[in-house]
Structure 1
Amino acid sequence: MLIIGVLFLVIGGGLGIAFIFLVNAILGVSVAVPSVLFGIVFVWMGQTTDRLKEVLRMLKPEE
């Protein structure tokens, strides 16, 4: 989106369209960064809980 906005600015034809694209890109980035961070945290938490389950399974005596 940011690239499209810059292209519109360079062409100079649709400055209004370029502004909309740039605003969308900035808003998208500001929304995407926290969601990516939360995603990484959730994935890491999921992996650690899986590891904990494996460790508990190994510690638990086989019947």
Structure 2
Amino acid sequence: MTSLPAGGDDGGSAADPEKLVCARCGTPARAPQPTWTCSVENSVRRYFCDRCSRENLRAIEGRLDSNWW
């Protein structure tokens, strides 16, 4: 689950956490998931569960610029 960064709220009210769903298989995150992968594609954040991330690791790494590896 994600929320607005510190200081990014509107008028001091708590932001509702964003419900995360895997962009590939649709698995919902039941709690914060440190093992999930976040990808920014065409300026849109997409989250992938750990299973989909593992199954597609080669394709994910293949898109990285050479300065990342």
TM tier, smaller: under 0.3
Give the greater-gyration-radius structure (CA).
1
State the TM-score, normalizing by the size of structure 2. 0.26
- Which protein has the bigger helix share? 1
State the TM-score, normalizing by the size of structure 1. 0.27
